[in-house]
Amino acid sequence: MPRKIGSLTLYSIDDLHELLGISKMTLRAYLREGRLKGRKLGVQWFVTEESIRSYFEEDLIQEQSASNTGKKSKTKLKYIVQGVNDLVSESEECNTITETLECLHSQAIISLFQVQITDAATGEILEIVKARDFIERHRE
């Protein structure tokens, strides 16, 4: 059941799972990746109705933009190789897939890293990929 605070309606992961039929794990991933805007209060995530609306409107705008131009727009990407826990706090920014792969291959323990794929122009996080998955995806 969503929580009302004045005119603000807050939805928990459980609420969104029931309303939208999306798995809780997927919802948490969307929140961590920044695809869905929310705030963590204590140990629980909360999302406003406005954030849910903006998530769906953003998808519609992107679809309309792609259909108007007749093709998908080519976004310049930036790749940030970063440690996944407190043991590895280093982070390195790369501009190409080749540069990112070289950086990953230079790491002693690949499983301690992930790659954050970001829109270079806006800084928006598009995807976060485990290092091994990134290497598999871009293997020649």
In tens, the pLDDT along 106-121 reads 888 888 889 999 988 8
- Which of 33-37, 96-100, 129-133 is least confident? 33-37
The answer on pLDDT for 70 being more than 70 is no
Q: Which of the pair, 81 or 73, is modelled with greater confidence?
A: 81
- Residue 72 confidence class, pLDDT cut points 50, 70, 90: very low
With tokens 């790749």, the residue in question is 79
Give the largest Cα separation in the chain, rounded.
55
The whole-number average pLDDT for the span 63-86 is 69
DSSP secondary structure of the chain: --EEETTEEEEEHHHHHHHH---HHHHHHHHHHTSS--EEETTEEEEEHHHHHHHHHHHHHHHHHHHHHTSPPPPPEEEEEEESSTT---EEEESSHHHHHHHHHT-S-GGGEEEEEEETTT--EEEEEEHHHHHHHT--
The whole-number average pLDDT for the span 101-106 is 87
* pLDDT for 55: 78
- Residue 15 confidence class, pLDDT cut points 50, 70, 90: very high
The whole-number average pLDDT for the span 43-56 is 86
Tokens linked to 34: 């920044």
